[in-house]
Amino acid sequence: MAIKAGDRMPSGVFGVMTEAGPGAISTDELFKGKRVVLVSVPGAFTPTCSNYHLPGFLDHADEIFGKGVDTIACTAVNDVFVMHAWGKDQGVGDKVMMLADGNGEYVRALGLETDSSKFGMGLRGRRFAIIVDDGIASHVAVEEPGKFEVSKAEAVIGRL
């Protein structure tokens, strides 16, 4: 069953790149006592994700932070090296935390996985944005396949 507004975010761990190399961040560290916008894309370096989705959150980061958000985090079913390289390529700096869900465990826990095998991509996460307030999903916006409307930065800003 997919997560919905009012549900507690599932526990889990994401891969992150640190100065010392690959590391991890738990959902407790990410969400506890914070307001977080968690954005999921089907894959790093893919067209809509690279040309519109992540750049929209970069372009509107100051406005999002100005609405009381502590962290903007982007996740995909990619390894920590790919997420780090994509973040560097996109120039995320300290505006967006890049989270690797390498085995798709977190999107499965959310009930938001999708089978993209017909595109040669295997299990992936659906395109979505969740506003998380102290570990509770206060807004969940999941795109229909092939759409890019409800999870883009401008739509999320309207819900903050």
CA distance 119 to 99: 23
Catalytic option among 49, 73, 80, 140 = 49
Closest CA to 130 of 104, 150, 108: 150
CA distance 32 to 48: 30
CA-to-CA separations, 5 to 56, 74, 121, in angstroms, rounded: 23, 19, 29
CA distance 91 to 23: 20
74 has catalytic annotation: no
Active site residues: 49
